[in-house]
């Protein structure tokens, strides 16, 4: 391994290398799993928003990885995501007699690997037991319907 850094011993250089490698791995995750790929933006503000979102996502990923490593869990981000994808939530939706949409969301009990990660991150499990919401139907005026039909597809 070559470097332009001088007056550092092998341990410090190896630590720099591993830090750089972890940063690159995190950005690789952001580009694939979180679908944060560079796109051509038309304005500077949208470019800056994209950059800030990427940095925020990087911060979240590495904060979680740091907390897990401090508890002796050395999984890569892909393995963490694979384990957490076993934790499922189900949403049931129905219409009542007043034509309101009622949604009930319930979370499955986590398995042992997920519980281990929740414990390391100091999260409660399951993240929620049951949530119920009622959505009232909006009455759309004719002028709103015409406006929606005239807009070009995205």
52-102 pLDDT, tens per residue? 888 888 888 889 988 999 999 988 888 888 999 888 888 888 888 888 888
Three-state SS at 1: coil
Relative orientation angle of helices 77-84 and 112-121, to the nearest 10 degrees: 120
Return the H-helix or E-strand segment holding 30. helix 10-32
DSSP assignment letter at 122: T
Average pLDDT over residues 38-63: 80
**Beta strand 130-135 with 101-107: parallel, antiparallel or unpaired?**
antiparallel
Q: What does the pLDDT look like over 13-28, one tens digit per residue?
A: 888 888 888 878 777 7
pLDDT over 80 (residue 148): no
pLDDT over 60 (residue 147): no
What are the two backbone dihedrals, phi and then psi, of residue 34, each rounded to the nearest 5 degrees?
Answer: -90, 0
DSSP E strands in 3-151: the ranges are: 89-95, 101-107, 130-135
Distances (CA, A) of 24 to 17, 31, 83, 103, 118: 11, 11, 22, 41, 26
Question: Is 34 or 55 the better-scoring residue by pLDDT?
Answer: 55
- The position carrying tokens 């007043």 is 98
Q: Which of 147, 87, 91 is nearest to 117 (CA)?
A: 87
CB 83 within 8 A of CB 113: yes
Q: Where exactly are the structural domains of the chain?
A: 7-85, 87-137
- For the record, the structure tokens of 44 come out as 């500077």
The pLDDT of residue 78 is 81
| pTM more than 0.75 | no
């Amino acid at each position: 391994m070559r470097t332009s850094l001088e007056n550092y011993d092998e341990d410090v250089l190896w630590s720099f290398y591993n830090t750089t490698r972890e940063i690159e791995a995190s950005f690789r995750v952001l580009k694939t799993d979180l679908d944060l790929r560079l796109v051509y933006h038309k304005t500077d503000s949208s470019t800056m928003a994209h950059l800030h979102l990427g940095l925020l996502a990087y911060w979240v990923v590495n904060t979680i990885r740091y907390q897990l490593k401090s508890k002796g869990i050395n999984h890569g981000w892909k393995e963490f995501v694979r384990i957490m994808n076993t934790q499922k939530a189900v949403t049931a939706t129905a219409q009542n007699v007043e034509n309101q949409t009622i949604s009930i969301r319930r979370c499955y009990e986590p398995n042992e690997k997920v519980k281990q990660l929740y414990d390391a991150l100091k999260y409660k499990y399951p993240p929620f037991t049951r949530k119920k919401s009622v959505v009232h139907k909006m009455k759309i005026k004719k002028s709103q319907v015409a406006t929606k039909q005239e807009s070009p597809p995205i």
